[in-house]
């Protein structure tokens, strides 16, 4: 029986055009006689939407036609750890030991790796351990937005067996061939090419837009600074129905779309048609955990939705949050942890939380602790906090080693740890011996005495990374996720306490998360001071806490407008600083609402005395966009508009990427950005001061 997946793959392959030179290079290597491989590793490099995945899929089809085994992995679909990589490869190969299976076959095989920028934590392991252990008849193809690290490129041996492929836009003939295969009328090809310049994702979006509305005639003209953004906006406007639009917007908000999730968010009993429609879109990809849009499409859809309809964005966000909250109660173990990661993904752009988390892939694996891990943990404590602290932790490990979670790096070594103490079950002698435990227990007894066996108290007694202690890091971020999971999954939890060596640094994010600073519980061990935070879960349950965090991220809060002009309007330098900060926060309403410019009476809609934070953010956002748009319509300032656009309106990941999008050298881009910022500041100052 032919499945829908195989049918979609066949259709997508039928639409593949161009890249003939790169296909010929791969074919030459694929069919080379044994021992005569012209190269072992192809490195495909290109920006988002340029067609890297499509080329990999074409390579896989070429392998199938040549009856040569090919195994394709997308780093989107597994954590960057050696265990997860090996498990994912084993699933594709349908074996338990993929390395042994690869080694057992001495004839030609192909390993295709997509989204390799996410595999940075595994870079050394792949280069030094895994790849060298493969048989010499294997072909490796690695595709990513960035070239491999210098350690690869500076190694003469790897250079000798590698070949780089830098993907660019389609040529005119390739673009026309693609449009023809998508059944786009020939009379529209010229306008489409003038608009997209052959960018593959842009071409596919044009085709999707026209296909959704057959009567639509595409109009060309000068391309805007961001073609993909405009095309996605057009696509959203012409989808078959509001339900299809909501399904597409949902895909941008959540990590992965499943039929069950879509059913819950759409509040419809049957969403199969919507799910299949999403699955058929050219920029929607399918993974083991559901559907997800191309990264560039996700970023653009989300920015457009938050700008165009923040109230609907909030509603979709709330529905997704409620779905994950329910799933957290229905799952256990590894699946529950995955649901929690999906839940936290909703908050990835929170301007208050962002500075305190390392959001990039870490390669760290939370794991249970074995007796053999204890010496490594105690050594970390000894080096970071001293012998007195290590002695106390040793005593806790002797009594409650089941509360120890270790974080292993890609080599399996202990990179960090979290020690959680069940304080209600601890021996009174050890509580009194440890200043941290004694201080926390005193707070509990002072506020409300616990009923025996009715409630629990958790003390996150110690957490740290072996190299950078308690600084913002992948270790710290994974530790915080483990803390949240513990709170959500521990029955009868009444209190939780959190120990920090630098409480002042962590106070903003702890306060934001309603984890109260408890200076009366501060303590010293070995001459080193520590601060304590805590939360009474009987006063605010874990589910109510999650609701509160979601509300703080996207919901409006009522505040009074000032009765007099803020200082920012009497000092041009302060005003300039506020504008610069406003530009940086342009796509983050929660941060914009706290900008001094948002307090101006002119920001209150229709002269209201009271405006919600969401209203103030939207009006400030509108005012700043009008200033930016003014530059777009002045020929001499358009280059300044382009720099501002790629930096703030639809920001590129880095300024280097923004300068590339603007098609100017980096030094020129920086000059344009500074000039554009000054010009917008001058325009807004003149407008608001009359």
Tokens matching residue 533: 């935070």
Which residues, other chains included, contact 3 with Cβ-Cβ below 8 Å and sequence gap of 6+? none
Please choose, from the candidates 16, 8, 106, the residue with its C-alpha nearest in 3D space to the C-alpha of residue 52. 16
pLDDT value at 611 more than 60 = no
CA distance 85 to 124: 14
pLDDT value at 39 more than 80 = yes
Across all residues in the chain, what is the average pLDDT?
Answer: 82
Span 88-101, pLDDT tens digits:
899 899 998 999 99
CA distance 243 to 239: 9
Burial of 577 (0-12, 13-18, 19+ CB in 10 A): middle
In percent, the amount of the chain with pLDDT more than 70 equals: 84
Contact in structure between 511 and 517 (CB atoms under 8 Å): yes
The pLDDT-based confidence of 606 (bands split at 50, 70, 90) is: very low
CA distance 202 to 195: 9
Please tell me whether residue 575 adopts helix, strand or coil conformation.
Answer: helix
More confidently predicted of 559 and 410? 410
CA distance 59 to 209: 28
Angle at 325 between CA 322 and CA 326, to 5 degrees: 90
CB neighbourhood size of 12 (10 A): 15
The pLDDT-based confidence of 558 (bands split at 50, 70, 90) is: very low
Place of tokens 């009522």: 558
CA distance 532 to 502: 10
pLDDT value at 217 more than 70 = no
pLDDT value at 86 more than 80 = yes
Which residues, other chains included, contact 222 with Cβ-Cβ below 8 Å and sequence gap of 6+? none
Task: Considering only the C-alpha atoms of the chain, give the largest distance between any 2 of them, rounded to a whole number of Å.
Answer: 85
Please choose, from the candidates 471, 620, 616, 622, the residue with its C-alpha nearest in 3D space to the C-alpha of residue 558. 616
Span 231-252, pLDDT tens digits:
666 666 667 888 998 999 999 9
* Alpha helix ranges (H) inside 401-539: 428-433, 435-447, 474-489, 503-512
CA distance 170 to 179: 11
Span 505-555, pLDDT tens digits:
898 888 878 888 999 999 999 999 999 999 988 878 887 787 777 666 654
Contact in structure between 393 and 378 (CB atoms under 8 Å): yes
Domains, in order of start, for the chain: 19-166 (3.40.50.300), 174-310 (no CATH), 365-548 (3.40.630.30), 558-689 (no CATH)
CA distance 395 to 398: 5
Please choose, from the candidates 551, 591, 51, the residue with its C-alpha nearest in 3D space to the C-alpha of residue 346. 551
Span 419-440, pLDDT tens digits:
999 999 999 999 999 999 999 9
**Model-level pTM?**
0.56
CB neighbourhood size of 550 (10 A): 21
CA distance 336 to 381: 30
Tokens matching residue 62: 């070429």
Residue 40 to residues 30, 74, 118, 153, 157, Cα–Cα distance (Å) = 10, 20, 22, 14, 11
Tokens matching residue 269: 């009993």
Per residue in 475-491, is it b (16+ CB within 10 Å) or e — as a string?
bbbbbbbbbbbbbbbbe
CB neighbourhood size of 325 (10 A): 17
Which residues, other chains included, contact 516 with Cβ-Cβ below 8 Å and sequence gap of 6+? 533, 534, 535
Span 622-670, pLDDT tens digits:
888 888 988 887 787 889 999 998 888 888 777 777 888 888 887 788 8
CA distance 259 to 274: 9
Tokens matching residue 514: 């309603």
Please tell me whether residue 233 adopts helix, strand or coil conformation.
Answer: helix
Contact in structure between 143 and 113 (CB atoms under 8 Å): yes
Place of tokens 């653009």: 300
CA distance 286 to 294: 10
CA distance 78 to 419: 26
Phi-psi region of 203 (alpha: psi -120 to 50; beta: other; left: phi over 0): alpha
CA distance 391 to 417: 16
Ranges 47-56, 270-279, 431-440: which has the least confidence: 47-56
pLDDT value at 122 more than 90 = no
What pLDDT does 351 receive? 64
What pLDDT does 225 receive? 46
What is 270-336 written as a DSSP string?
A: --HHHHHHHHHSTTEEEETTEEEE-HHHHHHHHHHHHHH-HHHHHHHHHHHHHHHHHHHHH--HHHH
């Amino acid at each position: 029986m032919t499945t829908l997946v195989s049918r979609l793959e066949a259709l997508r392959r039928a639409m593949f055009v161009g890249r003939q030179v790169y296909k010929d290079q791969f074919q030459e290597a694929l069919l080379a006689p044994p021992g005569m491989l012209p190269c072992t590793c192809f490195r495909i490099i290109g920006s988002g939407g340029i067609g890297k995945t499509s080329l990999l899929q074409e390579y896989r089809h070429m392998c199938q036609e040549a009856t040569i085994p090919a195994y394709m992995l997308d780093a989107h679909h597994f954590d960057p750890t050696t265990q997860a990589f090996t498990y994912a490869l084993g699933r594709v190969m349908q074996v338990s030991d993929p390395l042994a299976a690869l080694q057992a076959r001495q004839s030609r095989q192909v390993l295709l790796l997509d989204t390799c920028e996410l595999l940075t934590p595994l870079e050394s392991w792949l280069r030094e351990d895994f790849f060298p252990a493969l048989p010499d008849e294997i072909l490796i193809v690695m595709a990513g937005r960035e070239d491999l690290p210098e350690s690869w490129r500076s190694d003469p041996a790897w250079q000798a067996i590698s070949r780089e492929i830098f993907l660019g836009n389609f040529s005119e003939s390739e673009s026309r061939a693609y449009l023809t295969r998508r059944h786009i009328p020939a009379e529209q090809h010229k306008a489409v090419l003038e608009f997209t310049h052959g960018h593959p994702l842009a071409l596919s979006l044009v085709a999707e837009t026209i296909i959704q509305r057959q009567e639509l005639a595409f109009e060309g003209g000068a391309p805007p600074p961001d073609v993909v953004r405009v095309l996605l906006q057009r696509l959203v406007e012409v989808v078959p129905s509001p339900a299809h639009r909501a399904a597409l917007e949902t895909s941008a908000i959540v990590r992965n779309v499943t039929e069950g999730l879509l059913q819950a968010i759409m509040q419809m009993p049957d969403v199969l048609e919507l799910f299949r429609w999403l699955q058929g879109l050219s920029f929607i990809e399918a993974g083991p955990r559901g559907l997800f849009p191309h990264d560039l499409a996700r970023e653009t859809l989300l920015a457009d939705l938050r700008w165009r309809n923040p109230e609907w964005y909030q509603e979709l966000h709330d529905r997704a949050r409620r779905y994950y909250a329910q799933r957290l109660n229905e799952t256990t173990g590894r699946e529950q942890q995955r649901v929690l990661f999906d839940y936290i993904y909703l908050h990835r752009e929170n301007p208050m939380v962002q500075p305190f988390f390392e959001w990039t892939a870490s390669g760290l694996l939370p794991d249970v602790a074995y007796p053999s891990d204890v010496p490594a943990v105690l050594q970390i404590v000894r080096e970071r906090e001293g012998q007195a602290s290590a002695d106390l932790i040793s005593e806790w490990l002797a009594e409650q080693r089941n509360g120890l979670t270790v974080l292993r790096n890609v080599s399996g070594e202990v990179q960090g740890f979290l020690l959680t103490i069940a304080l209600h079950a601890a021996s009174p002698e050890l509580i009194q011996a440890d200043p941290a435990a004694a201080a926390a227990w005193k707070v509990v007894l002072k506020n409300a005495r616990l009923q025996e066996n009715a409630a629990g108290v958790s003390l996150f007694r110690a957490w740290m990374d072996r190299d950078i202690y308690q600084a913002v890091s992948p270790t710290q971020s994974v530790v915080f996720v483990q803390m949240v999971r513990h709170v959500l999954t521990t029955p009868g939890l009444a209190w939780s306490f959190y120990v920090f060596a630098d409480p002042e640094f962590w106070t903003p994010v702890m306060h934001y998360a309603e984890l109260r600073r408890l200076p009366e519980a501060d303590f010293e061990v070995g001459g080193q001071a520590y601060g304590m935070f805590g939360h009474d879960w009987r006063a605010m349950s874990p589910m109510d806490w999650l609701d509160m965090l979601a509300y703080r991220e996207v919901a409006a809060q009522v505040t009074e407008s000032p009765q007099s002009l803020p200082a920012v309007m009497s000092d041009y330098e302060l005003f300039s600083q506020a504008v610069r900060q406003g530009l940086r926060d342009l796509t983050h309403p929660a941060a914009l609402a706290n900008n001094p410019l948002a307090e101006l009476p002119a920001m209150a809609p229709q002269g209201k005395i009271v405006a919600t934070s969401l209203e103030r953010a939207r009006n400030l956002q509108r005012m700043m966009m009008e200033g930016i748009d003014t530059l777009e319509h002045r020929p001499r300032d358009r280059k300044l508009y382009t720099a501002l656009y790629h930096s703030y309106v639809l920001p590129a990941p880095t300024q280097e990427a923004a300068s590339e999008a603007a098609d100017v050298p980096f030094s020129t881009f920086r000059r344009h950005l500074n000039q554009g910022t000054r010009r917008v500041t001058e325009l807004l100052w003149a407008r608001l001061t009359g």
